[in-house]
Amino acid sequence: MSRKVQLLFLLSLAFSSRAEYSIWNDTFGEHLDWWQKAVIYQVFPLSFKDSNGDGYGDINGIIQNANHFLNLGVDAVRLTPVTKSPMKALGYDVSSYVEIHPIFGTMEDFKGLVNKLKELGIKLIMDFIPNHTSDKHMWFQKSVASDPKYKDYYVWVDPVFNTSTGKHAPPNNWISVLGGSAWKYNSERRQYYLHQFEEWQPDLNIRNENVIKELMEVLKFWLDLGVNGFWMDSINHLVEKQGFPDEPVKSRLDPSDINNYDYLDHIYTTNQPESLDVLANFWRQLEKYSYMRDNITRVMITQADGTTTEEIMQQYGNQTHPIVNFPLNFNLIDDMGMSAENFDIMICDWMDRLPVGAWPNWMLGSHEYSRVGSRYNPNLVDGLNMILLLLPGTAITYYGEEIGMIDSEEERINIAGDSLGDEPGQDTNLTVSRYPGIAPLQWSDMPLAGFTKGDKTWFPVNSDYHLINVMDQTTTPKSHYNIYRQLVQLRKLPGVQKGNLEVVSIGTRVLAFKRYYHGEKTGVVVTVNLGEDTLEEVNICYVLDLCETKLKANITTSKSIYKPGDMVNSDSIRLNSFEGLVFTFQQSLASSRSSSTIALLFFISILIIVW
């Protein structure tokens, strides 16, 4: 490398873009609430642990293994649906909001889970699907029959008739998220009903005040049982435009693709302003409940897949009229490739748009996405968990990511409906490409990964369970499991809980960020190499204002040349391929940015002179 190119490289480092964010402000009060400090662990109950040998994960399996949450140090557990359902959509087709599906156990089992988690000091968050039900739900059955009370519980519209053919047609061009018309004709009512997802998931008529009252009662039912909050699904579809106008076509798409959801611009079926009013009503109910009971916050989390960051931010409301505790942030889940610049952009995209007084959150996994190790690289699990758990805000972990599980190898499986759902003889095809991360949790190297004492599992166990399992990783100091535990403990530092964030990408491979809180001595630095090449000397001295600071290795992986306690210069950090490192540093309580600013200017001036 020529001297001129070297100088240009150094100068580019000096001007590396750095984003800085102040997290803490007076709107949060003196202390953080439980949900702001929390790590939320997502449990997919069918795949967590089977207690009775039938091959299906159940509530008692969660109770018997609840110490797993305690050992990890997580603060709350989120359950995907466990209520009664035909299970065509893994519980997101609710046939009763207030009954437990027999495959998971009984209501007494659920009460036992609430008590067990409370005993361990762990909160419980339930999935809640307010947009639609199953067509097997009693409300829908009575609505089809035009029962006076339930007649308008769902979105019904008269057909459009073609006078030349005498045949009926849907009232407009709306398309289901999964493709094809969003309308299904019912011969008994001689009307179409709306289904923004599958045809057996009819949309509730959220404009009907009686429906809202029913949903409010459902929330209270579970709150009375001890639930600490709700994860509300598909809220961007809650309300549709009155009058049901046709949605405009996206001109860039081929007209032959007319049944594709992306063929239309969904300005009338998603993110309607009235949806925020509905959410605000739910929020007020939870706030009132907490105030009347014990002043412990019942959290409200919203999920709106396929929605822009700008639209999602509206769900926060504002400081005087909050709507939710936080809407889910999918920025780290969406496919970004292996570029540090992309990670930097997606982190800043969320932080830049975050309203004043709003609280951030981060997640890396869900049952509808490939696992972290498959989506990026199995060797990046630790580094990505470092990012997830040490960025500011609430962290959300999907089960199995703490041990680095990867996607199922199966392409398609058949599940017998008479054992899983409500309809005897029904066969449910599950395409793994839609649900790639639902294989049973790999507890040990025992048969069927220790998930069940029976001879089968509802979903195939990954064949790598001999190499990746909880039991082995518990006793391996540098395992994914133990590094995860260390990260959760490090989150207790004030500098991580409420400290500022400075984030930068160095080239295409290195993402680095610093967390510190004014008035606290200990800060945290994270560096992650997203590439397969070893980097001999990564320099974060100037880009993170650390030139006068010694870094102390705190969390290192098995491939690192550093061990905890090693002192490392900020201008010469070695990062092996796909490696993440966490450092702590001591900052002067009286320090300011002026000294490093002067140093940076001096550095630039020297470059100019040499040039």
Q: What does the pLDDT look like over 190-207, one tens digit per residue? A: 999 999 999 999 999 999
| Plot region of 232 (φ>0 → left; ψ -120 to 50 → alpha; else → beta) | beta
Domain boundary among 413, 448, 480: 480
One domain, residues 382 and 507: no
Q: Within 461-549, where are the H helices?
A: 470-474, 480-490, 494-497
pLDDT value of residue 161: 85
One domain, residues 456 and 546: no
- Report if residue 194 sits inside a domain: no
Q: In the chain, what is the straight-line distance between the N-terminal and C-terminal CA atoms, in Å?
A: 16
pTM over 0.95: no
Between the CA of residue 288 and those of 284, 285, 293, 300, 326, what are the distances in Å?
6, 5, 9, 13, 18
pLDDT value of residue 435: 77
591 pLDDT higher than 50: no
One domain, residues 437 and 510: no
Burial 504-522 (b: 16+ CB within 10 A, else e): bbbbebbbbbbbbbeebeb
One domain, residues 44 and 93: yes
Residue 596's pLDDT band (cuts 50, 70, 90): very low
Residue 142's pLDDT band (cuts 50, 70, 90): very high
One domain, residues 14 and 83: no
Between the CA of residue 573 and those of 110, 315, 529, 581, 587, what are the distances in Å?
50, 41, 11, 9, 19
Q: How many structural domains does the chain have?
A: 2
One domain, residues 364 and 470: yes
Q: What does the pLDDT look like over 368-422, one tens digit per residue? A: 888 999 999 999 999 999 999 999 999 999 999 999 999 987 644 555 444 465 5
Angle between helical axes of 3-14 and 594-610 (0-180°, round to 10) = 160
By CB atoms closer than 10 A (0-12, 13-18, 19+), residue 320 is: exposed
pLDDT value of residue 575: 97
Q: What does the pLDDT look like over 304-330, one tens digit per residue? A: 988 899 999 999 998 888 899 999 999
296 pLDDT higher than 70: yes
The structure tokens listed for 92 are 């997101």
User: Which CATH number covers residue 418?
Assistant: 3.20.20.80
Burial 80-92 (b: 16+ CB within 10 A, else e): bbbbbbbbbbbbb
d(CA 309, CA 304): 10
The structure tokens listed for 332 are 């780290």
- Report if residue 364 sits inside a domain: yes
Domain boundary among 480, 514, 540: 480
Higher pLDDT, 286 or 7: 286
d(CA 136, CA 228): 28
- List residues bridging with 398 in a β-sheet: 42
d(CA 124, CA 611): 61
498 pLDDT higher than 70: yes
Give the angle 215-217-219 at the CA atoms, nearest 5°: 75
- Report if residue 517 sits inside a domain: yes
- List, in order, residues 6 or more apart from 170 with CB less than 8 Å away: 159, 160, 181, 182, 183, 185, 192
Residue 6's pLDDT band (cuts 50, 70, 90): very low
Residue 15's pLDDT band (cuts 50, 70, 90): very low
The structure tokens listed for 540 are 């974060």
What is the residue range of 591's domain?
A: 3-21+494-610
User: Which CATH number covers residue 521?
Assistant: 2.60.40.1180
Domain boundary among 452, 480, 508: 480
